[in-house]
Amino acid sequence: MTSMLYPTTNPSASEQMIVSRGDGPYIYDRAGKRYLEGMAGLWCTSLGYGNEEIIEVATQQMRELSFSHMFGGKTHDSAMQLADKLASMVPLANARVFLGNSGSDANDTVVKLVRYHASATGRPDRVKIIARDKGYHGVSLASASLTGLPPNHAHFQLPFDALGIVRAGSPHYYRNANPGESEAEFVARRANELEAQILAEGPDTIAAMVAEPVSGAGGVLIPPAGHYPAIQAVLDRYGIALWDDEVICGFGRLGKDFGANAMDMKPDMMVFAKALSSAYVPVSAAVISGEFAEAIEGAASDMGVFGHGYTYSGHPLGCAVAHKVLEIYERDRIFEHAETVGAYLQSRLQEFASHPLVGEVSGMGMIGALELVANRAEKTPFEGMVVGAFCAKAAESAGLIVRPLGGNRVALCPPLIIEREHVDEIIDKLTIALNATLDFVTRENLLK
Ligand SMILES: Cc1ncc(COP(=O)(O)O)c(C=O)c1O
């Protein structure tokens, strides 16, 4: 046991696994055992490990300019290049980019931009934010309040009311549909519920709705077809902005450039981190439409400074690396690759649909999850998180990293650079893990 206090870990737990190095889609532990990184770290190492081009750019940038801040309009080339590159890629007209270090801080930035915008447009009461059950948006006080997962709320007395959080239902059909309800009916019900919530709160008090195109940490929950157009129609009716959290779904994860394009969303603002730099260094971006930015800029001379920024906003290292990563995505057609190999991954994952432990196979592009259940016909959940955790441990023994999530879901989110043979390796190892888990639940009498 070292002096570490580990993040998102039971404080009484000690070291679980010591990772020593990475190479392509693989990591190695201290004993030299190799694992296929089926979770791309924490949904982030899209280009895998040890990419020499990125290492070279990082080294060069540190030699040239290791730090420069951005307060008061002081700037530098690598930040401006990154902002322009990102703005040219996103589906937002005349996009403007605010740089940070993590998904959590980028979402906090949007909370502040929304509030600043409300003041700038003379509607200071229009600050409430709709956020969904099972959504994950980070762990800072504001972003944890947007997050809709109880373990990230417990014991923290989060400022839900002060931030005006309005909690909407999750779009997870498998768990949230009423008996006999079709997907289309579920889509319509969620849209109607959203409208009822907006009317109950007062449409003029709500600024934005935040949503991940596909909720990752909530369990890889794929909304049914037509979900976002139905939601968007409601938001548009009341002039409520759609804030698209692309921290996992951005940059090819769903088999398209952005989750918004994969899921038919028309966002007003977008948030990026993780794959923005393929996690080589921490960097994030809150990106807003030109229209939203202009409303702020118009009033800014009367409002004084936008008093928000991090020492490391636009850190030269993060910017240089992210710019290179975006270039590689385009040059090597990584999004198209993710679409092709992702289609193969999804077809192979479907083989688990008939496994006696699997209630739902969900997935799209290069992300997926299996929900393990005690009774498939009844969708009976297992208690606690033991079964998913057992399965993830069994996968680890077989040399595959997957991630157990709440509700005994086991998630996969491999680096986008994997090939078909890596998909086969994932499926083989996951099969071993699932069968070991079936033996375990049978032995422990956990099936219902
Ligand atoms: C969708 C989403 N948004 C925000 C975050 C928070 O990012 P970070 O952990 O970099 O603060 C995450 C992290 O997993 C995420 O998945």
User: For residue 264, how far is its CA from the centre of ligand 1 (angstroms)?
Assistant: 21
pLDDT (tens digit, 9 = 90+) per residue, 133-147?
999 999 999 999 999
Q: Of 296, 331, 366, at which residue does a domain stop?
A: 331
Mutate to test the pocket of ligand 1, among 243, 248, 277 (most ligand atoms within 8 A of CB): 248
Mean pLDDT of 120-127: 94
| 238 Cα to the center of ligand 1, angstroms | 28
Burial code of 382-402, b = ≥16 C-beta within 10 A, e = fewer?
beebebbbbbbbbbbebbbbb
Measured distance CA(106)–CA(283) in Å, rounded:
9
Which helix (H) or strand (E) segment holds residue 193: the answer is: helix 183-201
Tell whether 296 is covered by a domain: yes
In the chain, the N- to C-terminal Cα span, in Å, equals 39
Q: In the numeric block, which tokens belong to residue 120?
A: 């700038």
SS3 329: helix
Q: By residue range, what is the domain housing residue 227?
A: 54-331
In tens, the pLDDT along 189-235 reads 999 999 999 999 999 999 999 999 999 999 999 999 999 999 999 99
Last residue of a domain, one of 331, 350, 385: 331
> 423 and 382, same structural domain?
yes
On whether both 96 and 232 belong to a single domain, the answer is: yes
- Mean pLDDT value of segment 238-258: 98
**Confidence bin at 426 (pLDDT 50/70/90):** very high
Dihedral pair phi/psi, residue 273, rounded to 5°:
-160, -140
356 with 410, same domain: the answer is: yes
Give the chain's mean pLDDT.
Answer: 97
408 pLDDT above the threshold of 90: yes
Residues 325 and 338 in one domain: no
- Residue owning the nearest CA to atom 1 of ligand 1: 247
406 part of a folded domain: yes
pLDDT digits (tens, 9 = 90+) for 81-91: 999 999 999 99
Whether 152 and 230 share a structural domain: yes
Q: Is 37 left (phi over 0), alpha (psi -120 to 50) or beta?
A: beta
Task: Based on the fold, state whether residues 159 and 257 are members of the same structural domain.
Answer: yes
Answer yes or no: do 212 and 260 share one domain. Answer: yes
Average pLDDT over residues 59-77: 96
- Enumerate residues 6+ apart whose C-beta is below 8 A from 46: 40, 251, 252, 253, 274, 275, 278, 279, 325, 329, 334, 415, 416, 417
Evaluate whether residue 1 is within a structural domain. no
Residues 378 and 326 in one domain: no
Ligand 1 centre distance from Cα of residue 145 (Å): 13
Contact between 103 and 147 (Cβ < 8 Å): no
Residue 26 included in any domain: no
Confirm whether 6 is domain-assigned. no
Please give the number of the atom of ligand 1 that sits closest to the Cα of 135: 1
Q: Are residues 161 and 263 in the same domain?
A: yes
Compute the distance from residue 246 Cα to the ligand 1 centre, in Å.
Answer: 9
Residue 74 and residue 110 share a domain: yes
- What's the CATH number where 394 sits? 3.90.1150.10
**Are 40 and 413 a contacting pair, CB within 8 Å?**
yes
Question: To which H or E segment does residue 19 belong?
Answer: strand 19-23
Q: Which of helix, strand or coil describes residue 162?
A: helix
Same domain, 141 and 249: yes
What pLDDT shows up at residue 15?
A: 83
Please state the domain count of the chain: 2
What atom in ligand 1 is closest to the CA of residue 216? 16
Residue 339 has pLDDT above 80, yes or no: yes
Tell how far the Cα of 247 is from the centroid of ligand 1, in angstroms: 6
Distance 383 CA to ligand 1 centre (A): 26
SS3 at position 311: coil
Q: Which residue has the tokens 């289609």?
A: 343
Alpha carbon distances (Å) from 35 to 23, 25, 27, 31, 343: 10, 9, 5, 12, 23
| Residue to substitute in 274, 281, 413 for testing ligand 1 pocket (most ligand atoms within 8 angstroms of CB) | 274
Q: With contact defined as beta carbons under 8 Å apart, do 137 and 147 qualify?
A: yes
Residues 378, 297 share a domain? no
Q: Which residues line ligand 1 (CB under 6 A)?
A: 42-43, 102-104, 107, 136-138, 212, 216-217, 245, 247-248, 273
